[in-house]
Structure 1
Amino acid sequence: MHAPDPQRHDTYDYAVIRVVPRVEREEFVNVGIILSCAGAKFLEARIELDEARLLAIDPQVDLETVRRHLAAIEVICAGGPGSGPIGQLPQRARFHWLTAKRSSIIQTSPVHMGRCPAVGSAIEHLMAKMVRVARA
Protein backbone atom coordinates (compact mmCIF):
# COMPACT_ATOMS: atom_id res chain seq x y z
CA MET A 1 0.00 0.00 0.00
CA HIS A 2 1.26 3.48 -0.87
CA ALA A 3 1.55 6.31 1.62
CA PRO A 4 -0.77 9.28 0.99
CA ASP A 5 0.73 11.82 -1.38
CA PRO A 6 0.85 15.27 0.31
CA GLN A 7 0.98 16.87 -3.15
CA ARG A 8 -2.24 15.17 -4.28
CA HIS A 9 -5.13 17.45 -5.10
CA ASP A 10 -8.69 16.26 -5.56
CA THR A 11 -10.83 17.59 -8.37
CA TYR A 12 -14.28 18.70 -7.29
CA ASP A 13 -17.44 20.17 -8.77
CA TYR A 14 -19.55 22.77 -7.04
CA ALA A 15 -22.57 24.98 -7.54
CA VAL A 16 -23.82 27.98 -5.61
CA ILE A 17 -27.31 27.61 -4.14
CA ARG A 18 -29.47 30.67 -4.76
CA VAL A 19 -32.85 31.79 -3.52
CA VAL A 20 -34.78 33.63 -6.24
CA PRO A 21 -37.92 34.87 -4.49
CA ARG A 22 -39.43 36.46 -7.60
CA VAL A 23 -38.23 34.45 -10.56
CA GLU A 24 -39.53 37.00 -13.07
CA ARG A 25 -37.18 39.66 -11.62
CA GLU A 26 -34.13 37.34 -11.64
CA GLU A 27 -32.85 38.78 -8.34
CA PHE A 28 -31.27 36.29 -5.99
CA VAL A 29 -29.34 35.79 -2.78
CA ASN A 30 -26.54 33.22 -2.61
CA VAL A 31 -27.30 30.99 0.37
CA GLY A 32 -25.02 27.96 0.09
CA ILE A 33 -22.71 25.62 -1.76
CA ILE A 34 -23.14 22.06 -2.99
CA LEU A 35 -19.76 20.38 -3.43
CA SER A 36 -19.11 16.96 -4.93
CA CYS A 37 -15.77 15.16 -5.02
CA ALA A 38 -15.86 11.64 -6.43
CA GLY A 39 -12.25 10.92 -5.42
CA ALA A 40 -13.00 11.66 -1.77
CA LYS A 41 -16.52 10.16 -1.92
CA PHE A 42 -17.77 13.54 -0.75
CA LEU A 43 -21.12 15.26 -1.34
CA GLU A 44 -22.20 18.03 0.96
CA ALA A 45 -24.38 21.12 0.99
CA ARG A 46 -23.61 23.98 3.35
CA ILE A 47 -26.33 26.55 3.72
CA GLU A 48 -26.42 29.89 5.53
CA LEU A 49 -29.66 31.75 4.84
CA ASP A 50 -29.38 35.50 5.43
CA GLU A 51 -33.07 36.18 5.95
CA ALA A 52 -32.62 39.96 6.16
CA ARG A 53 -30.99 40.06 2.70
CA LEU A 54 -33.72 37.88 1.27
CA LEU A 55 -36.47 40.02 2.80
CA ALA A 56 -34.81 43.13 1.35
CA ILE A 57 -35.39 41.68 -2.13
CA ASP A 58 -38.91 40.45 -1.41
CA PRO A 59 -40.61 41.33 1.89
CA GLN A 60 -43.40 38.85 1.04
CA VAL A 61 -41.16 35.78 0.62
CA ASP A 62 -42.37 32.68 2.47
CA LEU A 63 -39.35 32.06 4.70
CA GLU A 64 -40.71 28.80 6.10
CA THR A 65 -41.03 27.33 2.61
CA VAL A 66 -37.52 28.50 1.72
CA ARG A 67 -36.08 26.96 4.91
CA ARG A 68 -37.88 23.65 4.22
CA HIS A 69 -36.59 23.43 0.63
CA LEU A 70 -33.02 24.30 1.65
CA ALA A 71 -33.12 21.67 4.40
CA ALA A 72 -34.19 19.10 1.79
CA ILE A 73 -31.01 19.81 -0.20
CA GLU A 74 -28.88 18.97 2.84
CA VAL A 75 -30.85 15.77 3.46
CA ILE A 76 -30.51 14.64 -0.17
CA CYS A 77 -26.75 15.29 -0.10
CA ALA A 78 -26.40 13.23 3.08
CA GLY A 79 -28.44 10.39 1.59
CA GLY A 80 -29.47 7.39 3.63
CA PRO A 81 -32.75 6.58 5.38
CA GLY A 82 -35.31 9.38 5.28
CA SER A 83 -33.73 11.14 2.30
CA GLY A 84 -36.41 10.04 -0.16
CA PRO A 85 -35.92 8.39 -3.55
CA ILE A 86 -33.43 11.01 -4.79
CA GLY A 87 -31.37 10.58 -1.62
CA GLN A 88 -31.00 6.89 -2.43
CA LEU A 89 -29.25 7.56 -5.74
CA PRO A 90 -25.42 7.39 -6.02
CA GLN A 91 -23.63 10.58 -4.93
CA ARG A 92 -22.88 11.86 -8.46
CA ALA A 93 -26.50 11.30 -9.54
CA ARG A 94 -27.73 13.25 -6.49
CA PHE A 95 -25.33 16.10 -7.31
CA HIS A 96 -26.53 16.24 -10.91
CA TRP A 97 -30.18 16.12 -9.85
CA LEU A 98 -29.66 18.93 -7.34
CA THR A 99 -27.81 21.13 -9.83
CA ALA A 100 -30.18 20.58 -12.77
CA LYS A 101 -31.50 23.80 -14.30
CA ARG A 102 -34.90 24.80 -12.95
CA SER A 103 -37.00 27.93 -12.69
CA SER A 104 -38.15 27.78 -9.11
CA ILE A 105 -37.49 29.78 -5.97
CA ILE A 106 -34.44 27.58 -5.20
CA GLN A 107 -31.88 27.43 -8.02
CA THR A 108 -28.19 26.69 -8.46
CA SER A 109 -25.49 28.38 -10.46
CA PRO A 110 -23.86 26.57 -13.34
CA VAL A 111 -21.52 23.82 -12.12
CA HIS A 112 -17.90 24.89 -11.69
CA MET A 113 -14.78 22.81 -11.13
CA GLY A 114 -11.82 23.19 -8.80
CA ARG A 115 -8.87 21.35 -7.27
CA CYS A 116 -7.75 21.25 -3.67
CA PRO A 117 -5.86 19.11 -1.15
CA ALA A 118 -8.87 18.93 1.22
CA VAL A 119 -12.51 19.23 0.17
CA GLY A 120 -13.61 20.30 3.66
CA SER A 121 -11.48 23.41 3.38
CA ALA A 122 -12.63 24.00 -0.21
CA ILE A 123 -16.29 24.17 0.74
CA GLU A 124 -15.47 26.55 3.60
CA HIS A 125 -13.45 28.76 1.24
CA LEU A 126 -16.35 28.83 -1.25
CA MET A 127 -18.83 29.72 1.50
CA ALA A 128 -16.65 32.65 2.56
CA LYS A 129 -16.13 33.84 -1.01
CA MET A 130 -19.53 33.23 -2.59
CA VAL A 131 -22.14 33.26 0.21
CA ARG A 132 -21.08 35.25 3.25
CA VAL A 133 -21.21 39.01 3.14
CA ALA A 134 -18.14 40.75 4.56
CA ARG A 135 -19.11 42.81 7.57
CA ALA A 136 -17.58 46.24 8.12
Structure 2
Amino acid sequence: MSEQDKGVEEVRVFKEFVRVAGLPIEIDTVRKCYPPKPDIRCRYHGGEWVYFELTELCDENLAQLDGRTLLQRSDRLWVADPAERIVRKKLRKHYPVSRPVELLCYKRGRLAAPDSEMLALIRPLVVQYPGPFTRVWFFGERLAQMVWSV
Protein backbone atom coordinates (compact mmCIF):
# COMPACT_ATOMS: atom_id res chain seq x y z
CA MET A 1 0.00 0.00 0.00
CA SER A 2 1.42 3.39 -0.97
CA GLU A 3 1.71 6.23 1.55
CA GLN A 4 -1.12 8.03 -0.29
CA ASP A 5 -3.36 4.94 -0.12
CA LYS A 6 -2.53 4.55 3.57
CA GLY A 7 -3.50 8.19 4.15
CA VAL A 8 -6.84 7.76 2.38
CA GLU A 9 -7.55 4.65 4.46
CA GLU A 10 -6.61 6.42 7.71
CA VAL A 11 -8.98 9.30 6.97
CA ARG A 12 -11.75 6.82 6.10
CA VAL A 13 -11.20 4.84 9.33
CA PHE A 14 -11.03 8.03 11.38
CA LYS A 15 -14.29 9.42 9.99
CA GLU A 16 -16.00 6.08 10.60
CA PHE A 17 -14.66 6.08 14.18
CA VAL A 18 -15.96 9.64 14.77
CA ARG A 19 -19.40 8.59 13.53
CA VAL A 20 -19.59 5.37 15.56
CA ALA A 21 -18.16 6.91 18.75
CA GLY A 22 -20.33 10.01 18.42
CA LEU A 23 -17.36 12.32 18.87
CA PRO A 24 -18.11 16.02 18.45
CA ILE A 25 -15.57 16.51 15.65
CA GLU A 26 -16.14 18.95 12.80
CA ILE A 27 -15.78 16.43 9.96
CA ASP A 28 -14.94 19.08 7.36
CA THR A 29 -11.80 19.97 9.39
CA VAL A 30 -10.30 16.45 9.21
CA ARG A 31 -6.93 16.61 7.44
CA LYS A 32 -4.27 13.98 6.84
CA CYS A 33 -0.83 14.93 8.20
CA TYR A 34 2.51 13.28 7.55
CA PRO A 35 5.45 12.38 9.79
CA PRO A 36 6.79 13.61 12.05
CA LYS A 37 3.30 14.95 12.89
CA PRO A 38 0.47 12.65 13.99
CA ASP A 39 -1.78 11.18 11.27
CA ILE A 40 -4.87 13.39 11.55
CA ARG A 41 -5.54 17.02 12.48
CA CYS A 42 -9.10 18.17 13.20
CA ARG A 43 -11.23 20.38 15.42
CA TYR A 44 -13.77 19.56 18.11
CA HIS A 45 -17.09 21.44 17.84
CA GLY A 46 -16.00 23.69 20.73
CA GLY A 47 -13.15 25.01 18.60
CA GLU A 48 -10.24 23.05 20.13
CA TRP A 49 -7.78 21.75 17.54
CA VAL A 50 -6.42 18.27 18.17
CA TYR A 51 -4.25 15.66 16.52
CA PHE A 52 -4.93 11.94 16.35
CA GLU A 53 -2.29 9.28 15.85
CA LEU A 54 -3.80 6.13 14.36
CA THR A 55 -2.42 2.64 14.71
CA GLU A 56 -3.92 -0.52 13.31
CA LEU A 57 -3.65 -3.50 15.60
CA CYS A 58 -2.91 -6.19 13.07
CA ASP A 59 -0.85 -9.29 12.66
CA GLU A 60 1.60 -8.82 9.78
CA ASN A 61 1.27 -12.51 8.80
CA LEU A 62 -2.50 -12.24 8.57
CA ALA A 63 -2.31 -8.89 6.77
CA GLN A 64 -0.15 -10.40 4.04
CA LEU A 65 -2.68 -13.11 3.26
CA ASP A 66 -5.62 -12.23 1.08
CA GLY A 67 -8.96 -13.98 1.35
CA ARG A 68 -8.28 -16.46 -1.46
CA THR A 69 -4.99 -17.60 0.07
CA LEU A 70 -6.62 -18.02 3.45
CA LEU A 71 -9.47 -20.10 2.00
CA GLN A 72 -7.11 -22.28 -0.06
CA ARG A 73 -5.00 -23.26 2.93
CA SER A 74 -5.97 -26.48 4.65
CA ASP A 75 -3.72 -26.03 7.67
CA ARG A 76 -4.61 -23.86 10.64
CA LEU A 77 -3.47 -20.29 10.67
CA TRP A 78 -1.72 -19.39 13.91
CA VAL A 79 -1.05 -15.73 14.38
CA ALA A 80 1.16 -13.99 16.87
CA ASP A 81 -0.59 -11.24 18.77
CA PRO A 82 1.50 -8.12 18.12
CA ALA A 83 -0.91 -5.64 19.73
CA GLU A 84 1.18 -5.07 22.86
CA ARG A 85 4.32 -4.37 20.82
CA ILE A 86 2.41 -2.00 18.50
CA VAL A 87 0.89 -0.02 21.38
CA ARG A 88 4.17 0.19 23.33
CA LYS A 89 5.93 1.52 20.23
CA LYS A 90 3.31 4.27 19.80
CA LEU A 91 3.52 5.22 23.49
CA ARG A 92 7.28 5.88 23.11
CA LYS A 93 6.81 8.32 20.21
CA HIS A 94 6.91 12.10 20.49
CA TYR A 95 5.39 14.61 18.09
CA PRO A 96 6.52 18.16 17.24
CA VAL A 97 3.10 19.75 17.76
CA SER A 98 1.75 22.20 20.34
CA ARG A 99 -1.83 20.86 20.34
CA PRO A 100 -3.12 17.80 22.24
CA VAL A 101 -2.55 14.40 20.63
CA GLU A 102 -4.94 11.48 21.05
CA LEU A 103 -4.20 7.88 20.11
CA LEU A 104 -6.68 5.74 18.19
CA CYS A 105 -5.93 2.01 18.21
CA TYR A 106 -8.15 0.29 15.69
CA LYS A 107 -8.76 -3.25 14.56
CA ARG A 108 -10.06 -4.32 11.16
CA GLY A 109 -10.21 -8.12 11.22
CA ARG A 110 -6.49 -8.70 10.81
CA LEU A 111 -5.95 -9.72 14.42
CA ALA A 112 -7.16 -12.93 16.02
CA ALA A 113 -7.99 -11.52 19.47
CA PRO A 114 -11.51 -10.24 20.26
CA ASP A 115 -12.22 -6.59 21.16
CA SER A 116 -12.54 -7.39 24.87
CA GLU A 117 -9.00 -8.80 24.95
CA MET A 118 -7.65 -5.73 23.17
CA LEU A 119 -9.23 -3.42 25.75
CA ALA A 120 -7.82 -5.54 28.59
CA LEU A 121 -4.38 -5.35 26.99
CA ILE A 122 -4.33 -1.64 26.08
CA ARG A 123 -5.74 -0.15 29.30
CA PRO A 124 -2.93 -1.20 31.71
CA LEU A 125 -0.26 -0.18 29.17
CA VAL A 126 -1.53 3.39 28.91
CA VAL A 127 -2.28 3.70 32.62
CA GLN A 128 1.34 2.75 33.34
CA TYR A 129 2.79 5.09 30.69
CA PRO A 130 0.47 7.18 28.49
CA GLY A 131 3.28 8.66 26.43
CA PRO A 132 2.42 11.98 24.73
CA PHE A 133 -1.31 11.28 24.54
CA THR A 134 -4.15 13.08 26.32
CA ARG A 135 -6.65 10.33 25.44
CA VAL A 136 -6.44 6.82 24.10
CA TRP A 137 -9.29 5.26 22.11
CA PHE A 138 -10.07 1.76 20.85
CA PHE A 139 -12.13 1.17 17.71
CA GLY A 140 -12.84 -2.51 17.25
CA GLU A 141 -15.17 -4.59 15.21
CA ARG A 142 -18.05 -4.09 17.62
CA LEU A 143 -17.27 -1.00 19.67
CA ALA A 144 -15.61 2.40 19.82
CA GLN A 145 -14.68 3.68 23.24
CA MET A 146 -12.25 5.72 25.25
CA VAL A 147 -9.68 3.56 27.01
CA TRP A 148 -7.90 6.27 29.00
CA SER A 149 -7.90 10.04 29.50
CA VAL A 150 -5.76 12.57 31.38
Q: Give the alignment's TM-score, normalised by structure 2.
A: 0.26
TM-score (norm 1): 0.28
More RCO (CA 8 Å, sep 6+): 1
